[in-house]
């Protein structure tokens, strides 16, 4: 994707508008920072000016006392207000802001193409923005409010100081210029060091993770691999020290210049100047105190101003990514309505379908045509990488093919309402996900409101051979899966999890069932049970089923088998026909079957 | 998440953090402490006493030289301060911090790698002590930094305190009142805060989970196929409501102490004390404005240091909790004792005598009285349903766990007689959940730092059917695997990774080979190749293989059929088939589809 330099002003306004529409209170809460800066100016300038002007202005003790107590009461009120802000308004605002922004993005996330998740470039830059939006919004609002508050406060203090003596400008400007000029150089050096350390840091992080991750525990104990990782860690740490050392002298010089211009010239210089003026009698005592106090305040205000400005620049990069995500126009628009698909499915037909994931890459599906029929069990077979799983994604309309069409009962599936179309298909994926929800909800893939739905879920669990295990759990099908946020949650084994995924396909009671590599973690009995269920559903309910597998036994029981190689359909037919063809299928089958066939033959002979 | 109960007190944990730093970088640790104190003292003189002196000079109409007498030394001290800071920051800190970093992490890694694997099964223990180590180390540094600041605060407060006392003892009284009230209020406020935090923690976890589900690619397909989003969105909005109502509820608890805290502090320090000071200066003419400025700001400075120190407290408590986990982790005793001294031979018979084993925290035994003898050079298979105990048996043989009763023997002696690492070194194992390491292919084959024997490696890759893929990789053995820290790294598919893992086992060339589900992700051609390889692993090697695919296991010398942690049938394939029992049934179920 081509990147233009984003406009900070435009992006800030864009984000502000979104925040305004989702959670306007968050803007108000952040702008309380104006009060903070106001009090700062009051305490360090006005308060001091008044008290230490008592002599020159001939104030009575009574007047001073009144002013002190006025300031005290003001401070009390403001502090109570702050308590409310930090302990009540702010946390609530955060909850609402997170809710508002994230909900908006969730909605969008559900309509973008699956490719937004599967294409790493797009995913890492844009989709991940969804996860961090509320944190970034908070930072942005912080920068935005501080930007204005510190600017106004600094301008006020500068005017007060310059009115006393124009020399003040010198001691304000010099540290500021020094800070900007040297700060920029230091920033550049730090950025360079950071860049140079990227790979070292990633290595160290990786070793750190692997050392404590459960999955690696076995291998770390029975092999010597940890010595490799340990060396990698030590090297990574040493490497970053070396990188840092290369820049040390240069950075030291700039650090010194910046600090001296800021502290020695800024503070001591201003104070000396003020002392000379006061001793000369050019300024009076209260003006002296104002100058002594203000230089500290104004230098901090300017520093905050500068860092909020830098912050806004950084935020702008994030906002640009967010904007791209929110404005992303999906190729497959899930919110666009369409025809309601028929309840009864006769055929699904692929006509000259070709597909590639990326325009620049090669076709992974090459001119494939075939027909799937209701009441028939179909199998997709082929070696790893032959295009089987991609075909499943096309059938589910996760992607649309570049060429050719997919027809349901003769109608292009693009014509249908996509949500209703997917309701026709019960699917179990190779890389299925288990949600942190009850077993029944995991099977139904939706919140469960009544017992009927639960009965369906339980039946599906029985069909996939999972219920034997689920039955033994204290809360049975109402048990929460995973320990994500429930410490009593259930962690199932790989085989059990796979059975739950298969149950999903059955529970949907849909006319089409697609199982992608359903049996890799199943024992033979569970596998058998699964095939029995599919057979029953196909025969009795006239369902259309597709099994993707590289276990040839899974294919052999299906009526119609499609064999793929490098994205092309190379053979199709029944098991018998294909064996007679003596082609790719026969080769694969015989390799796997050899051991079984001779044995069964022997076994029967033995009987 | 339940509240974590620390085993050591905060002071002891902070002391531990200091000790860690001191051991790794003694000079640096002491020096930074002194440097912080010196720096803060210079700041005190610069910002409190110097302006006060200037005001006094102006009041007295002294010549400018009197200002300079104070100002020039301060300016030099400030230069010294920033100079020290930047010298340490640029030349000393990076090296010393790296030393500390290495010291802490390598200690933790050593411990993690030698810890009983059983500790990983206890999910609570794992999350609290093992996984927590990934980020807890940060708290060691934090505790040192925080307490360094704390010490410096006390020193500075003492210095400005003695100045104030030398002028006016009454200031100290005002200050002590404020400090006492602030301290009490803050302790209570912290407690309430902690409670609220604990109450909200599970809500945040839930909210973060929903958030994650919507952007992680892992969930997207299943999300699109159902209506799980409805539930997640409902949870998400409930979380918001709970956070709002909890915040309101706790605000009522906070409010009285909040009211006590700052407003009282304002009344005493700003109202009463300042009125008093002006009374002394104005009516009693005790001090001039310079003095007034000095005293008032010194008192404020003490007060700031007290408030700052009080903020450090809850943070130190927080760090302490995490440091506590590190200490418990490091102190944990292994139940598998590594005190064997017998010399071990590279090969021998493996014998299990009436072995029982129950996973910690489980009620039902996973292995329930198994006896078997695997002779040197024998090839055996473990078969059975999911959960029959096959993988557990392997873990017992490898001594990843110790048996509850019975004994596992190698070469005639109980395996506890051998040094643990040497004993495990006899085996070469392919785990069911084997991992591809983010390193070169060479390192993924050798699994240590030794030089790769290229001929042997080529041979292993050939036998594991990985050769074809390997030949497409331009960098050959130096190819970096995974994109973990190299964007040009190669991600292997499930099948390819499994083939590489098989090659790893073959390359190790140990006399005993264990294969747990070696062909689950392989396509038929690769599986055929694997079967061939296993049968060709000639005479002298012992092979233990676990598989659901009975075609893989049929050529072995002896098959053990496991059910509920017991051996229900054993014998070679032909014998078991003739027995017509469970194995035979299972085999026919699979085989009939290949007829």
For residue A202, the distance in angstroms to the closest alpha carbon of chain B comes to 6
> Do both B204 and B293 map to the same domain?
yes
Q: Is B377 contained in some domain?
A: yes
For residue A371, the distance in angstroms to the closest alpha carbon of chain B comes to 23
Specify whether the CB–CB gap between B414 and B399 falls below 8 A.
no
> Do both B121 and B213 map to the same domain?
yes
In this predicted structure, what is the pLDDT of residue B344? 83
> Do both B237 and B354 map to the same domain?
no
Q: What is the pLDDT of residues A26-48, one digit of tens each?
A: 999 999 999 999 999 998 888 88
> Do both B322 and B367 map to the same domain?
no
Name the pairing type of β-strands A377-381 and A544-548: parallel
**Phi and psi dihedrals of B567, rounded to 5?**
-85, 120
| Residues of chain B contacting A114 with CB distance shorter than 8 Å | 220-221, 224
DSSP letter (8 states) at residue B518: T
In this predicted structure, what is the pLDDT of residue B15? 93
Q: Is B522 contained in some domain?
A: no
For residue B342, the distance in angstroms to the closest alpha carbon of chain A comes to 19
A278: exposed, middle or buried (C-beta count within 10 Å: 0-12, 13-18, 19+)? buried
> Do both B214 and B351 map to the same domain?
no
DSSP letter (8 states) at residue B510: -
Q: Distance between CA atoms of A565 and A567, rounded to whole angstroms?
A: 5
Specify whether the CB–CB gap between B1 and A487 falls below 8 A.
yes
Mean pLDDT of chain A: 83
Looking up tokens 């800070």 gives: A179
Per-residue pLDDT of chain B (595 residues; tens, 9 = 90+): 445 677 888 899 999 999 999 999 999 999 999 999 999 999 999 989 999 999 999 888 888 999 999 999 999 999 999 999 999 999 999 999 999 989 988 888 888 888 888 777 777 777 777 777 777 788 999 999 999 999 999 999 999 988 888 887 877 787 788 888 888 888 888 889 888 888 888 888 888 888 888 877 777 777 777 777 888 888 888 999 999 999 999 999 999 988 888 888 888 888 888 888 888 888 888 888 888 888 888 888 888 888 888 888 888 888 888 898 888 888 888 888 888 888 888 788 889 999 999 887 777 788 888 899 988 888 888 888 777 888 888 889 988 888 888 999 988 888 888 888 888 888 888 887 777 888 888 888 888 778 888 888 888 888 888 888 888 888 888 888 877 777 777 877 777 888 888 888 888 888 888 888 777 667 667 777 777 777 676 567 888 888 877 777 777 888 898 888 888 888 888 888 888 888 888 887 777 766 6
| Residues of chain A contacting B438 with CB distance shorter than 8 Å | 206, 210
H or E element at residue A589: helix A584-606
> Do both B130 and B272 map to the same domain?
yes
Q: Is B466 contained in some domain?
A: no
> Do both B382 and B266 map to the same domain?
no
Q: Distance between CA atoms of A103 and A23, rounded to whole angstroms?
A: 12
SS3 A492: coil
Q: What is the pLDDT of residues A55-98, one digit of tens each?
A: 777 788 888 899 999 999 999 999 889 889 988 999 999 888 88
Q: Distance between CA atoms of B58 and B290, rounded to whole angstroms?
A: 9
Q: Distance between CA atoms of A417 and A420, rounded to whole angstroms?
A: 5
Q: What is the pLDDT of residues A89-124, one digit of tens each?
A: 999 998 888 888 888 888 887 788 877 777 777 777
Chain A residue with minimal CA distance to B202?
A: A485
DSSP E strands, B287-329: none
For residue B206, the distance in angstroms to the closest alpha carbon of chain A comes to 6
Q: Distance between CA atoms of B290 and A285, rounded to whole angstroms?
A: 10
Specify whether the CB–CB gap between A265 and A174 falls below 8 A.
yes
Torsion of CA B186, B190, B193, B194, to 10 degrees: 180
Determine whether the interchain pair A435/B230 forms a contact, defined as Cβ–Cβ distance below 8 Å: no
In this predicted structure, what is the pLDDT of residue A602? 41
Q: Is B513 contained in some domain?
A: no
Quote the domain boundaries for residue B118: 10-331
Q: Hey, CA dihedral for B400, B402, B404, B408, is it positive or negative? A: positive
pLDDT at position A604 over 70: no
Q: Looking at the partner chain, which of A213, A252, A435 has a beta carbon nearest the beta carbon of B90? A: A252
Q: What is the pLDDT of residues A309-337, one digit of tens each?
A: 989 988 888 888 888 888 888 887 777 77
Looking up tokens 């140079």 gives: A196
Determine whether the interchain pair B123/A491 forms a contact, defined as Cβ–Cβ distance below 8 Å: yes
Q: Distance between CA atoms of B293 and B302, rounded to whole angstroms?
A: 14
HEC-encoded secondary structure of A232-272: HHHHHHHHHHHHHHHHHHHHHHHHHHHHHHHHHHHHHHHHH
Of B592, B555, B527, B524, give the one whose Cα is nearest residue A600: B592
Domain spanning A432-509: CATH superfamily = P-loop containing nucleotide triphosphate hydrolases (3.40.50.300)
> Do both B208 and B352 map to the same domain?
no
> Do both B231 and B356 map to the same domain?
no
In this predicted structure, what is the pLDDT of residue A597? 59
Determine whether the interchain pair A384/B495 forms a contact, defined as Cβ–Cβ distance below 8 Å: yes
Asked if this assembly's ipTM is beyond 0.85, the reply is no
Q: Is B490 contained in some domain?
A: no
Q: What residue ranges do the domains of chain A occupy?
A: 1-156+309-330, 166-282, 345-424+512-522+543-607, 432-509
Number of domains in chain B: 2
Query: Which tokens hold the place of A344?
Result: 């009864």
| Residues of chain B contacting A206 with CB distance shorter than 8 Å | 438, 484-485
* Strands of the B405-410 sheet, one edge to the other: B367-374, B350-357, B405-410, B413-414
CATH number of the domain that B561 lies in? 3.40.50.300
Q: Is B44 contained in some domain?
A: yes
CATH number of the domain that B197 lies in? 1.20.1560.10
For residue A87, the distance in angstroms to the closest alpha carbon of chain B comes to 6
Q: Looking at the partner chain, which of A271, A431, A599 has a beta carbon nearest the beta carbon of B591? A: A599
| Residues of chain B contacting A425 with CB distance shorter than 8 Å | 225
In this predicted structure, what is the pLDDT of residue B4? 66
In this predicted structure, what is the pLDDT of residue A600? 41
B377: alpha, beta or left? (left if phi > 0; alpha if psi -120 to 50): left
Determine whether the interchain pair B279/A61 forms a contact, defined as Cβ–Cβ distance below 8 Å: yes
Q: Tell me how far apart the 2 most distant CA atoms of chain A are, in Å.
A: 124
CATH number belonging to the domain at A345-424+512-522+543-607, selected among 3.40.50.280, 3.90.850.10, 3.50.50.60, 3.40.50.300: 3.40.50.300
Q: Is B21 contained in some domain?
A: yes
H or E element at residue A318: helix A285-327
Q: Is B472 contained in some domain?
A: no
For residue B349, the distance in angstroms to the closest alpha carbon of chain A comes to 19
> Do both B295 and B361 map to the same domain?
no
A191: alpha, beta or left? (left if phi > 0; alpha if psi -120 to 50): alpha
| Residues of chain B contacting A51 with CB distance shorter than 8 Å | 278
Q: Looking at the partner chain, which of B211, B217, B524 has a beta carbon nearest the beta carbon of A118? A: B217
Q: Looking at the partner chain, which of B85, B215, B429 has a beta carbon nearest the beta carbon of A128? A: B215
> Do both B269 and B364 map to the same domain?
no
> Do both B298 and B196 map to the same domain?
yes
Determine whether the interchain pair B54/A275 forms a contact, defined as Cβ–Cβ distance below 8 Å: yes
């Amino acid at each position: 994707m081509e990147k233009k330099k984003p406009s900070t002003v435009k992006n800030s306004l864009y984000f502000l508008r979104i925040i305004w529409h989702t959670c306007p209170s968050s803007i108000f809460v952040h702008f309380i920072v104006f009060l903070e800066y106001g009090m700062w100016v009051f305490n360090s300038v006005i308060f001091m000016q008044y008290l230490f002007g008592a002599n020159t202005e001939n104030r009575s003790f009574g007047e001073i006392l009144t002013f002190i107590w006025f300031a005290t009461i003001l401070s009390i009120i403001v502090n109570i207000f702050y308590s409310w802000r930090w302990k009540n308004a702010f946390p609530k605002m955060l909850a609402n802001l997170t809710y508002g922004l994230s909900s908006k993005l969730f909605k969008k996330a559900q309509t973008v193409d699956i490719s937004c998740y599967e294409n790493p470039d797009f995913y890492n830059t844009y989709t991940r923005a969804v996860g961090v939006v509320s944190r970034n919004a908070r930072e942005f609002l912080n920068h935005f409010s501080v930007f204005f508050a510190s600017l106004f406060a600094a301008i006020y203090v500068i005017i007060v100081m310059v009115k006393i003596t124009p020399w003040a400008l010198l001691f304000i400007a010099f540290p500021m210029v020094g800070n900007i000029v040297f700060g920029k150089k230091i920033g550049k050096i730090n950025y360079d060091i950071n860049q140079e350390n990227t790979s070292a840091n990633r290595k160290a992080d990786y070793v750190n993770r692997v050392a404590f991750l459960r999955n690696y525990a076995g291998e770390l104990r029975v092999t010597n691999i940890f010595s490799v990782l340990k060396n990698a860690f030590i090297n990574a740490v040493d490497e970053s020290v070396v990188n840092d050392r290369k820049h040390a002298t240069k950075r030291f010089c700039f650090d010194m210049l910046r600090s001296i211009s800021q502290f020695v010239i800024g503070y001591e210089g201003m104070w000396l100047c003020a002392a000379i003026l006061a001793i000369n009698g050019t300024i009076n005592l209260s003006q002296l105190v104002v100058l002594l106090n203000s230089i500290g305040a104004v230098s901090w205000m300017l520093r905050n101003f500068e860092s909020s400005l830098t912050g806004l620049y950084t935020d702008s990069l994030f906002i640009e990514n967010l904007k791209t995500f929110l404005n992303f126009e999906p190729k497959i628009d899930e919110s666009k309505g369409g025809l309601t698909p028929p309840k009864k499915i006769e055929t699904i037909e692929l006509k000259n379908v070709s597909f590639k994931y990326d325009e620049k890459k090669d076709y992974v599906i090459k001119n494939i045509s075939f027909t799937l029929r209701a009441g028939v069990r179909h199998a997709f077979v082929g070696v790893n990488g032959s295009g089987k799983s991609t075909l499943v994604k096309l059938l589910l309309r996760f992607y649309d093919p570049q060429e050719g069409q997919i027809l349901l009962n003769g109608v292009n599936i693009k014509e249908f309402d996509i949500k209703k179309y997917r309701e026709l298909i019960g699917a179990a994926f190779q890389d299925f996900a288990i949600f942190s929800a009850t077993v029944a909800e995991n099977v139904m893939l939706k919140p469960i409101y009544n017992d009927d739905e639960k009965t369906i879920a339980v039946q599906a669990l029985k069909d996939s051979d999972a219920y034997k295990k689920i039955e033994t759990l204290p809360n049975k099908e109402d048990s929460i899966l995973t320990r994500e946020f429930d410490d009593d949650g259930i962690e199932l084994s790989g085989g059990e999890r796979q059975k739950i995924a298969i149950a999903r396909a059955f529970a949907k009671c849909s006319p089409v069932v697609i199982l992608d590599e359903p049996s890799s973690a199943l024992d033979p009995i569970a596998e058998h049970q699964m095939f029995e269920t599919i057979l029953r559903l196909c025969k009795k309910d006239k369902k259309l089923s597709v099994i993707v597998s590289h276990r040839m036994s899974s294919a052999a029981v299906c009526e119609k088998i499609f064999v793929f190689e490098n994205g092309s359909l190379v053979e199709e037919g029944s098991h018998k026909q294909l064996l007679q063809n003596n082609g790719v299928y026969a080769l694969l089958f015989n390799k796997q079957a050899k051991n079984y066939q001779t044995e069964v033959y022997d076994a029967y002979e033995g009987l | 998440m339940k509240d974590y109960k620390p085993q050591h007190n905060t002071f002891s944990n902070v002391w531990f953090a200091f000790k860690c730093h001191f051991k790794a970088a003694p000079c640096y640790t002491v020096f930074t402490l002194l440097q912080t104190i010196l720096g803060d003292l210079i700041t005190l003189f610069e910002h409190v006493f110097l302006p006060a002196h200037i005001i006094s000079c102006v009041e007295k109409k002294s010549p400018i030289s009197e200002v300079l007498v104070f100002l020039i030394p301060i300016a030099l001290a400030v230069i010294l301060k920033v100079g020290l800071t930047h010298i340490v920051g640029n030349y000393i800190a990076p090296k010393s911090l790296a030393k500390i970093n290495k010291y802490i992490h390598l200690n933790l890694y050593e411990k993690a790698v030698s810890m009983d694997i059983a500790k990983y099964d206890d999910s609570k223990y794992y999350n609290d002590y093992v996984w927590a180590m990934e980020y807890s180390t940060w708290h060691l540094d934090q505790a040192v930094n925080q307490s360094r600041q704390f010490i410096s605060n006390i020193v500075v407060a003492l210095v400005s305190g003695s100045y104030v006392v030398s002028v006016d003892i009454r200031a100290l009284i005002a200050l002590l009142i404020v400090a006492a009230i602030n301290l009490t209020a803050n302790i209570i406020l912290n407690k309430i805060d902690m409670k609220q935090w604990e109450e909200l923690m599970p809500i945040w976890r839930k909210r973060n989970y929903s958030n994650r589900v919507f952007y992680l690619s892992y969930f997207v397909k299943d999300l699109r196929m159902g209506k799980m989003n409805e539930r997640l969105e409902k949870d998400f909005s409930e979380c918001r409501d709970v956070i709002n109502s909890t915040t309101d509820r706790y605000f009522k608890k906070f409010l009285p102490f909040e009211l006590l805290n700052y407003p009282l502090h304002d009344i005493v320090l700003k109202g009463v004390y300042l009125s008093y000071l002006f009374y002394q200066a104005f009516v009693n003419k005790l001090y001039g404005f310079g003095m007034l400025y000095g005293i008032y700001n010194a008192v404020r400075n003490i007060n700031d240091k007290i408030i700052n120190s009080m903020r450090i407290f809850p943070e130190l408590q927080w760090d302490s909790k995490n440091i506590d986990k590190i200490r418990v982790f490091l102190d944990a005793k292994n139940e598998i004792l590594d005190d064997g001294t017998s010399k071990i031979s590279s090969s021998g018979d493996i014998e299990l005598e009436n072995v029982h084993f129950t996973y910690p925290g489980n009620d039902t035994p996973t292995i329930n009285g198994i006896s078997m003898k695997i002779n040197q050079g024998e090839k055996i298979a473990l078969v059975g349903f999911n959960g029959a105990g096959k993988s557990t048996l392997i873990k017992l043989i490898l001594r990843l766990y110790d048996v509850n009763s019975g004994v596992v023997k190698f070469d005639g002696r109980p395996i506890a007689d051998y040094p643990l690492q040497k004993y495990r070194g006899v085996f070469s194992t392919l785990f069911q959940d084997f991992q591809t390491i983010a390193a070169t292919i060479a390192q993924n084959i050798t699994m240590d730092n030794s030089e790769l024997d290229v001929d042997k490696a080529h041979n292993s890759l050939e036998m594991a059917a990985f050769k074809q893929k390997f030949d497409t990789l331009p960098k050959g053995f130096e190819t970096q695997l995974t994109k973990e820290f190299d964007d040009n790294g190669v991600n292997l598919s499930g099948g390819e990774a499994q083939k590489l893992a098989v090659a790893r086992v073959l390359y190790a060339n140990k006399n005993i080979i264990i294969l747990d589900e070696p062909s689950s992700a392989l396509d038929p051609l690769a599986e055929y190749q694997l079967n061939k390889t296993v049968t060709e692993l000639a005479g002298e090697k012992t092979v233990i293989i676990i598989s659901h695919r009975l075609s893989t296991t049929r050529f072995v010398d002896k098959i053990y059929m496991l059910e509920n942690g017991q051996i229900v049938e054993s014998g070679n394939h032909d014998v078991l088939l003739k027995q017509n029992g469970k194995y035979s049934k299972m085999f026919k179920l699979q085989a009939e589809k290949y007829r």
